[in-house]
Structure formats: structure tokens, C-alpha cells
Amino acid sequence: MPIMTPGAVAYPGTSLTFKTGGWRTARPVHRWVPAPCHAGCPAGEDPCGYVGLVAEGDIKGAWERLVAINPLPAVTGRVCDHPCEGSCHRGAYDSPIAIHNVERWLGDEAARAAWAYPLPLLPAEAKTVAVVGAGPAGLSCAYHLRRLGIRAMVIDRLPLAGGTLRTALPSYRLPREVLDREVERLMATVNFLPHTSLGRDVTLEELTREYAAVFLAPGRQQPRAWDVDGRVPRDLHAALPLLEAWVAFGKVPEIHSAVIVGGGNSAIDMARVLARTGAKVHLVTHDVRPAPGVPRDLAMKAAPRDIRQAEEEGVTVHVEHAIHHLILRGEKVVGVELVRVKKLARDEGHYEIVPFEGTETVLHVDQVIPAVGQTVAPEGMESLLAARGFFAVDGTGRVPGHDALFAGGDARAGAWGTVSGAVGDGRRAALAIEAHLSGKAQEPARDAEPITFSGLNLNYFEHAARAEEIVLPPDRRLALEEIAAGLSGPEVALEAVRCLSCGTCMACDNCWTVCPDQAVLKMHAPAGMRYLTDYDYCKGCGLCAHECPVGFIAMVDETS
């Protein structure tokens, strides 16, 4: 080797001895930020998380992540009005991810593959909690108690579990076998006492004495009283009993034409059921159609998709109308007088429904069917119901003044009135019950602000069309057959790849690619931490944070 003078040569890679990290005034940190779909889900699901796992091809992992929050994905994937998709940032970019169809497919896939819920062994000294009502709230609570190592005893007045899902949801939206499959799997993990009514077969005092805690989720079973100026037709049917009769026996009394009063899910389902029997159906509601930007108080409670499908099936929807007057012959309805109305805001969240003179029209119908909501059937818990007939509970579901008594689902005041809302109530109550039984203080709910649309770097994404499921054309929608086909496995995989992964690292390698200092190091771990910042060399330029497509990296000031 020729001898070189010392000033002419340096050895490869020796600059590593010079730690440029000392130049930094801000450091990049990886931090998860809730996605808007998570913030928008009443059940508390994190679609961004399980959709991401689907995109990675880990289907079972995705399902396990999903059922860690919601044990009934095949059900909610079909019947939920998916507010997650309304808040999906992809909606502002092109069109939202079809989250409900990913969820539905995962639920169906789990049933096909007969996956078992990932549950811990029940300790011998496990306590038992009573759950009143086997609807979505009760089932969710029982399941989450079981996940937390607590035995659940579910009590219901009916022979089968499922609650409203079983009694009032028509099978064209939720096929029986889907419901049976998912409920059966869940019921295998908890104890069930059917044919047991609170107040008749067992009292609340007995339950509180015998069980470590009680969760009340009786739902709303009692139709609200309804009249027009004090007048009620003699042959009045409320919507819920009619719906229940249809779901149980496939029959309703013969009706030629009807006007249904209300804008919620029961009203829409009732209208669609009657349309299937060949009746001419009108639906009258004070509210406007739900749309982005319309306040929740002003919009119809039914999902936009269901309203649209009802109209396709021949239902005439009269928004912002009310029944002004019943036209009776004797005590039988022969028509109604409609009037245009508007819900006008009065002081502090109160609305007044104002009818407008001169806008009256007449509809000739032979039935008026109110679907104006239900209240809690109070038997056995009269002392607990607050004013207006619902449970007033705190944020965790606890009934004030009772340590070990919780309530949720449709029976609580301010309920979401949806299946996913009930599932969320059940989970939150189970967490509170577990905290209560183990004597720990419950950690306050973490509700960090979801990531904003401008927090993403959209330069790194491409537009792609949303996968649309096949829906039966209106003239082929039969009485019972499910009308939406869902998506196939390959379609779901493609749809999952569209997810912008808001606030969650998707291992795209961009930070690793753009760092001028090789300070971002790639890990071998397939999941969890994918990249590490070597702060010895990171100069804090901020390129990785600015260019992160999903907003997972934040610059934290280090000067103070």
C-alpha cells in the first residue's frame, strides 16, 4: 500500500462520530392520532385500525381488533347507519371508504371460518353481573364483561336473545341466519335466563342482592301515545307491534293505503314492509332529510340509505309535513289533512314545530300508523326512571345514587337510538363495572381530537373509486330476501387499500425515504413500531413530519 499523508485520507463512515443531534430545536415524534371514523363511531370502533389490517392481509387480526370493541360486526355492518363514513376524510378527497361493507365482510368471514372470540380464561373467583335485556346493549355489556374476566347472567323476557334485532328488524335488512350465527356465538360465552321478566319473575332488589352489579338495558318497548287534537281512530295500530308481527309471522292486517307518521328507523321499516304487501304508503315527518351539515335535531333519524331505498320501493316521503287534521267517517280514517311545517329554533336547543296556513293538502288513506317513538316499559324499575320515562345516567352508564347499578342502550335518556350506539353503551358500562368491582379508579375517557383533513399530506395518495355493492333493483325486492349483497373478498381488499390511514402509521417508508441524514431507521417488526428516529443524528429539519402522508409524526419543541 502506498503511504498517504495524513491530511489526504479519511476512513469511510467516520462522520458517525459527529453527533449532529445537538443542532436540533424540535424533535419528530411518532404519535397516534384518532381517525375521524373512530371519533364518529358510537360503538367506539377504530375502523382505521382494522381496515388497515385488512389492507395488510391480516384478516383474522382485523376481525379480532374489530370484535375487541364490537362483538356483532355482521349485524352492525348491515344495519348501522355508519356515521363513520360520514366523517371519513376520504370523503373530502374523493368518496369515503365503504367501512360498513368491510365490517360486514369481516363478520361474515369470521362465521364462515368459525373463528372464536379471543377471550381470556374465566378465573375461578370470577364475579357474576346481571344484565337485563338481551338486545344489542345487553349483549355487548355481557360480552365485554366476559372479556374482562367477569361472568355475565343475561335475563330476557323472550325465549331467544337479540332484542329489537330479532323482534323488529325486517330480514331484508338483517337476515335471520346472520343474526342467529352472531348471537349464538356470543351467547356461548355468557349465561342466559330466558322467559324472565323484571317485575314479574324477578325483582330488581333480588338482582342487586344476588349479583355483584346490574346492567339494565330493557330498550324501548312501549309505543308513545299519539293523537291529533285529542282524536284517535278506533282501529289504530302503532308501528312497532305491526313490525313485530311482520317479523314474527310475515303478516300484517290488510291495508290498502296508509300514512306513517315519523322519521325514524321504525317508520321507514314500517313503510317498506307495507309497500311490500302492495299498499300505497306515505310517510310524514316534521324533519328534513339527513345530509351533511344538517343538525342532528332537525334531520330524520333514519339512515339516508334506508330512506332512499324506501322511496325506490314506492314509499312517498313528505318531509317537513305534519298531520293537521284526521278526516274520519265515524271513528274510521278515510283521509288526513297534511300541512307544511318547519322546526324553528327557539331558546336553548328547543324547537317549535310551526304549521303554515294555506299549505294544507288532503291524502286519501285508510290507515294512520304512528311511529313516533317508544318509551321504556317501566315494570320492575319504576323507581329508577327519571322524568320523561328514561334512565338518567352519567358518562359511564352509572345510575346516579347507585354504586353497582348501570343502564344503557335505547332506555337511557339521550340514547343514540341505533344498534351501534347500544353496543357502545354496553361496552362503556362493562368497563365501568369492571373498574367498580376491582376497586380501581376508572381512567377518564381519552377523547383526543381526531386528526384534521389538513393534517394529512394528500400528495402521496391517488384517487380511486369506492367499491359499490350490488343492490337488488326495487322490482325484485321480495318480502324477506336481503337486498344488499355486500362486497366480495377481493373487493373488500381493494377498498381497504383506499384507506388514508388518518393518524396511523401505514409503514409507507416515506419518512425513511426523505430523511437527508439517515436518522430514520426502519425496524424489522412487521407490526407496532415500524421506524425509529436516531436522535443522535436527527437535526430536526421536520421533513419527515411535513411529508408524512397520514399525519403520524409531530414536531415537538425542545428549546424550553
* Residue ranges that bind other proteins, judged by CB under 8 A: 6-7, 10-20, 23, 52, 55-56, 459-463, 497, 501, 506-510, 512-519, 521-524, 529, 532, 534, 536-537, 539-543, 545-547, 549, 555
Burial code of 395-416, b = ≥16 C-beta within 10 A, e = fewer? ebbbbeeeebbbbbbbbbeebb
Residue 460 beta carbon to other proteins: minimum distance, rounded to whole angstroms: 4
Task: Name the residue nearer to other proteins (CB basis): 420 or 504.
Answer: 504
Residue 525 beta carbon to other proteins: minimum distance, rounded to whole angstroms: 11
Centroid of chain to Cα 418 = 7
Task: Name the residue nearer to other proteins (CB basis): 10 or 387.
Answer: 10
Distance CA 286, CA 267 (A): 13
From start to end of 371-427, where are the E strands? 374-375, 405-407
Residue 474 beta carbon to other proteins: minimum distance, rounded to whole angstroms: 35
Burial code of 81-107, b = ≥16 C-beta within 10 A, e = fewer? bbbbbbbbbbbebebbbbbbbbbbbbb
Instruction: Return the H-helix or E-strand segment holding 507.
Output: none
Task: Name the residue nearer to other proteins (CB basis): 139 or 456.
Answer: 456
Which cell numbers hold the place of 528? 407496532
Residue 490 beta carbon to other proteins: minimum distance, rounded to whole angstroms: 17
Residue 510 beta carbon to other proteins: minimum distance, rounded to whole angstroms: 5
CB 450 within 8 A of CB 439: no
Taking only Cα atoms into account, the Rg of the chain, rounded to an integer number of angstroms, comes to: 28
Residue 57 beta carbon to other proteins: minimum distance, rounded to whole angstroms: 9
Residue 509 beta carbon to other proteins: minimum distance, rounded to whole angstroms: 3
User: What's at 486, amino acid-wise?
Assistant: G
- Give the DSSP per-residue string, 446-503: --PPPPPGGGS-GGG----PPP---B--GGG--SSS-SB----HHHHHHHHHT---TT
Which cell numbers hold the place of 307? 330512506
Residue 104 beta carbon to other proteins: minimum distance, rounded to whole angstroms: 22
Residue 217 beta carbon to other proteins: minimum distance, rounded to whole angstroms: 39
Q: Show Cβ contacts of residue 288 under 8 Å, excluding neighbours closer than 6 positions.
A: 294, 298, 299, 300, 319, 320
Cα→Cα distances 247→309, 324, 461, Å? 19, 31, 46
Distance CA 102, CA 158 (A): 32
Residue length, the chain? 560
Query: Which residue matches cell numbers 368518496?
Result: 95
What SS3 class is residue 192?
strand
